[in-house]
Structure 1
Amino acid sequence: MSPPSISSERQRNERRKERAAFVSILASAGLTLGKGVAGFATGSLALISDAANSLLDVAATTMTWLAVRAAHKPADAQHQYGHGKFESLSALVQTAFLFLLSGVIAVEGVRRLSSGETEILLSWPAVGVVVGSIVVDAWRWWGLTRVARETGSEALAADALHFSSDLVNSVFVLVAFAAAHFGYPQADALIAIGVSFFIAFAGFRLARRTIDTLLDTAPKGLAERVTGLAEKVPGVVGVDRVRVRSSGSLIMGEVGIRVSRTLPLDRVTQIKERVRNAIHADLPDSEFTISTTPVQIDDETVLERVMLIAARLRVPVHHVTVQNLASRLSVSFDIEVDARLTLAQAHEVASRLETALVEELGPQVEVESHIEPLVVQHLDGREADAETVAGIALSLANHARECNGITGVHSVRVRETPAGFVVNYHCRLDPGLDIATVHDMVDELDRRMRTDHPEIGRIVGHAEPRPAAAAGRDIAAGGTSGYR
């Protein structure tokens, strides 16, 4: 989903487009009326053709307004990519109007020249109408071009082209009036024919751009631009493909990126979101779908590859040992399987993981696994009585002193379950010890406790670095302080 700021900006652009299109309808209607009256009063073909062009503009701008409103409708079951193509369709119909108009003007100009009907009646009011239309055409062309450029609207761009053709046409009408005043009335028909060619050329350019949009032609250079944006996002190994297309003022597309296959899913999601945000920052009116392909990168360790394959098969593993022997690689590890499985079922799980690792690391690898039971169901339990907790806490403290290095046993909790007592406790050790030594020491304490208390089904010791001020203290207390 787009951030709220992007959505608000898009809504503002939509309102601007609709307002610009509606103002153009009013302007076209006023120009048509003024030019038509002046054209028939003077008999100027150039001015009558200009009025006809403005009349078509009334229809075209009305169509633009309707198309812009339709394009802003959200996607639905029938139009799952939205309604943006309505703008392109409107622009294409407007080009047909332009070609029709240019043909009519050219034919009438040739007819007047061949028949000698070139006389026109000049008047200052007619000149005033033409000058006024030039001002209005220039104002609407500038306004529509600015909004079309800022919002990417093809329909408004087509509307701006109509007003630009009107502007040029009106300028040439003034030239025709001047030529007639100096004794060259046939210039009116010649200029009208010239204007028809200008309108046809402008319509051709608009039609080519609109057809490209309807055929989903990628905007020139945009795919390379999006590729560069995606490649700069940390975590993106490479860009496989970029597909872009225009839908009205909206740019839509797909970006396929490569990421390290060892990344967790939440990290991959973050990378996709950062790519999407980077594109939005450069192209606010855009919607891109980001897909990822996990790939092996050069600096993957054997441990990372083992953990990745195990995660794919959803088999918990630990105590992974990797050995580089003279002629081969040896990998061993512990796997945890449902304690309720039979040996045959557990062995099948282990074999499936071992086979996958051989396929990953090569046929020369030696793979060995040790199967451990994993209690997967939730245990119903209750807090043990205070006397039991105190006894186990005291036993933990005594055995900790025997282990020579474990101090500060605290946060002792004992729960009664169908599988026996579950004991959780915290203890403190020298912060400079390596974790392997710490693990062995805590395991030794756990082993001693199980020997003395066979009723314990599970014991979990959490080791903490011992503060200097706490050295030598041995606290055997119940409660939950420091529990994590």
Structure 2
Amino acid sequence: MGFRFLINLNPIHRSRASRIKTYLDSNILKNSCAYWDSGFRDRSDCSGNPNFTARRRCHVGHSHRDRDSTPGKEGEKIFRLGLAADIGLATGKAVTGYLSGSTAIVADAAHSISDVVLSGVALLSFNAARAPKDKEHPYGHGKFETLGALGISTMLLATAGGIAWHALDVLMDIWSAAPEIVNQSLNHNHTHGGHHHEIDMEHPVLALNMTIISIAVKEGLYWITKRAGEKSGSGLMKANAWHHRADAVSSVVTLIGVGGSILGVRFLDPLAGLLVSGMILKAGLESGYESILELVDAAVVPQQLEPYKQTILRVEGGYKHMRGRRAGSSLYLDVDVEVDPFSSVSAAHDIGENVRRQLQQSYPEVAEVFIHIEPATSHISGSDGDHQVNVKSSDHHDNTRLLDQTDVEDIVSKILSSRFSEKMEVERITRHSIQRQLFLEIEVSMPLDSSIREAVELAKEAEKTIVEVVPEVIHVSIQLRLGCSMPEFRKKVGR
């Protein structure tokens, strides 16, 4: 049988012993050696036993999960809706301008054509960002979305500057011109960002209706795109939403200016234009700043990472450190996960995979998770007084080269063979390195006629000798092997 007699059962190993007890209670080890002697020919025999389920191996470093296509399809529909709306508005304004003879509406149609081009660029950027990973882009194409958002932000800044320039120009005309020139200035074409938005007063009904329709459509697109951008975390959608609103409020300023002209309030148009330019300028700066941060791989602010940390804390293991970066609407996380320092490599691997799986299932925007496994020092410092002192005073080992596995095996084997060769034989040595200090677990075999008392005393003496001879080692636990050894076990598994 594969039972191990644990000598000097201290609190560090108590949790491991409880896990072994559970393992024994399930009667799994009753015939384990006989089972493996069968050559493990039929792996289906262990299908009912979760402890012997053959696990599919994959690296813990990071994941290659295909992103959920549903948010991408919804985003593409929204961009296509915006593109179709801009095409419809451009066509409607061109027809209205032709029928009414309004040069202002014709100029606004040209503005809508430029919106069509910009919406097309946004759609292409969005689709490019969702292209599958390839050899040249192993981390995906999310930065294309960021570049598109930066381009739209630049257009927002240009629009804000154009509106502000026109508003100041009108104010200067009002302040400096004679009354009759003022009346003319109030009726000249109002341009915002290089685009005319004045209502032709010779055809007020047709021109006003087209402008109102444009405002309603653009404001509706703003709310639809903004809501989708906040849901998916897409900076491109947020920037495009503000582009829709910039068009809407520009037309609103036109209506306000016309109303002010009718009512005789001369300063209403330029003051409203300055207010709107400030709103658009603020949105353009914020969107552009966020895009630049993404392009230079700036870290996600800690407050935004809090939900992901809470998810990790619900998984077995512990959280030590997390950082994240964005590429468009995708989020990449680097996580340091703490595990029991005495866990096996496979157990630590499973914990890391569980953390990755929980994060990606809970948050679709998480594209990849890079996991680093670290031993949890709390398992040592909280075990007993002696260990707590040893760990806290480990600073003097910082500049000391730790012994590698081969060195440890050679030194320990020489010590035991020179002093205890007649009473014990080393079967296996497991080294644990925690805060630059070594903990050793040594599996030994002893003569069959040895009593338990003799085995305990001999193990204590051997542990004390190893700690005295090897200063890098601060704790040794010797375990008595009573069944087939781990090397034999691995050979049987590999058959």
**TM tier, shorter chain?**
0.5 to 0.7
Answer yes or no: is the 8 Å Cα contact 1:309–1:357 preserved in 2.
Answer: no
Which residue number in structure 1 is paired with residue 443 of structure 2?
317
Q: Residues 370-417 of structure 1: CA distance to partner in whole angstroms, max 9, x if unpaired? A: 9xx999899xxxxxxxxxxxxxxxxxxxxxxxxxxxxxxxxxxxxxxx
Structure 2 residue corresponding to 1:361, chosen from 474, 485, 489: 474
Root-mean-square deviation (CA, aligned residues, Å) is 4.4
Q: Which has the larger radius of gyration?
A: 1
Which residue number in structure 1 is paired with residue 35 of structure 2?
none
Q: Residues 56-114 of structure 1: CA distance to partner in whole angstroms, max 9, x if unpaired? A: 43222111101011101122333222110111111111111111222233333444454
Answer yes or no: is the 8 Å Cα contact 1:56–1:97 preserved in 2.
Answer: no
Aligned-residue offset at 1:251: 0.8
**Structure 1 residues 295 and 376: CA distance shift in structure 2, 3 A:** closer
Aligned-residue offset at 1:227: 2.6
**Secondary structure of the structure 2 residue equivalent to 1:288:** strand
Structure 2 residue corresponding to 1:330, chosen from 443, 449, 461: 461
1:67-78 alignment runs, 5 A limit: 67-78=125-136
1:221-232 alignment runs, 5 A limit: 221-232=303-314
Q: Residues 6-43 of structure 1: CA distance to partner in whole angstroms, max 9, x if unpaired? A: 96872111122122112211212332444567689556
Letter in 1 for 2:156: L
Matched, 1:258 2:377: no
Which residue number in structure 2 is paired with residue 139 of structure 1?
220
1: CA distance between counterparts of 2:206 and 2:348? 71
Which residue number in structure 2 is paired with residue 405 of structure 1?
none
Once the two structures are overlaid, the 10-residue window that deviates more, 106-115 or 166-175, is 106-115
Which residue number in structure 2 is paired with residue 292 of structure 1?
373
Letter in 2 for 1:330: E
**Structure 1 residues 224 and 168: CA distance shift in structure 2, 3 A:** same
Asked which structure has the greater RCO (Cα within 8 Å, sep 6+), the reply is 2
Aligned length: 345
Which residue number in structure 2 is paired with residue 382 of structure 1?
none
**Secondary structure of the structure 1 residue equivalent to 2:326:** strand
Answer yes or no: is the 8 Å Cα contact 2:334–2:371 preserved in 1.
Answer: yes
**Secondary structure of the structure 2 residue equivalent to 1:330:** helix
Letter in 2 for 1:106: A
Which residue number in structure 2 is paired with residue 396 of structure 1?
none
1: CA distance between counterparts of 2:455 and 2:328? 57
Which residue number in structure 2 is paired with residue 247 of structure 1?
327
After TM superposition, the score normalised by the length of structure 2 is 0.59
Letter in 1 for 2:342: T
Letter in 1 for 2:126: V
In structure 1, list runs of 5 or more residues that go unmatched: 334-350, 379-484
**Structure 1 residues 309 and 98: CA distance shift in structure 2, 3 A:** farther
Structure 2 residue corresponding to 1:91, chosen from 149, 153, 177: 149
**Secondary structure of the structure 2 residue equivalent to 1:176:** helix
Answer yes or no: is the 8 Å Cα contact 2:427–2:485 preserved in 1.
Answer: no
**Secondary structure of the structure 2 residue equivalent to 1:80:** coil
1:449-460 alignment runs, 5 A limit: none
1: CA distance between counterparts of 2:352 and 2:300? 23
Which residue number in structure 1 is paired with residue 436 of structure 2?
none
2: CA distance between counterparts of 1:141 and 1:214? 25
2: CA distance between counterparts of 1:308 and 1:160? 68
Letter in 1 for 2:208: V
Letter in 2 for 1:142: W
**Secondary structure of the structure 2 residue equivalent to 1:166:** helix
Letter in 2 for 1:66: L
Which residue number in structure 1 is paired with residue 186 of structure 2?
118
Answer yes or no: is the 8 Å Cα contact 2:186–2:261 preserved in 1.
Answer: no
2: CA distance between counterparts of 1:308 and 1:190? 87
Aligned-residue offset at 1:134: 1.9
**Secondary structure of the structure 1 residue equivalent to 2:473:** helix
Aligned-residue offset at 1:166: 2.1
Identity of aligned residues (%): 25
Answer yes or no: is the 8 Å Cα contact 2:429–2:443 preserved in 1.
Answer: yes
Structure 1 residue corresponding to 2:232, chosen from 142, 151, 156: 151
Matched, 1:170 2:170: no
Which residue number in structure 2 is paired with residue 127 of structure 1?
208
Matched, 1:66 2:118: no
After TM superposition, the score normalised by the length of structure 1 is 0.60
1: CA distance between counterparts of 2:471 and 2:113? 77
1: CA distance between counterparts of 2:361 and 2:479? 51
In structure 2, list runs of 5 or more residues that go unmatched: 1-57, 174-181, 189-199, 387-407, 413-425, 433-439, 447-453, 490-495
1:17-28 alignment runs, 5 A limit: 17-28=75-86
Answer yes or no: is the 8 Å Cα contact 1:255–1:290 preserved in 2.
Answer: yes
Answer yes or no: is the 8 Å Cα contact 1:31–1:133 preserved in 2.
Answer: yes
Letter in 1 for 2:444: H
**Secondary structure of the structure 2 residue equivalent to 1:331:** helix
Which residue number in structure 1 is paired with residue 281 of structure 2?
200
Q: Residues 201-227 of structure 1: CA distance to partner in whole angstroms, max 9, x if unpaired? A: 221121122222223233331333333
Answer yes or no: is the 8 Å Cα contact 1:118–1:186 preserved in 2.
Answer: no
Compare the two structures and name the one with the higher strand fraction.
1
Letter in 2 for 1:226: Y
Answer yes or no: is the 8 Å Cα contact 1:218–1:245 preserved in 2.
Answer: yes
**Structure 1 residues 322 and 205: CA distance shift in structure 2, 3 A:** farther
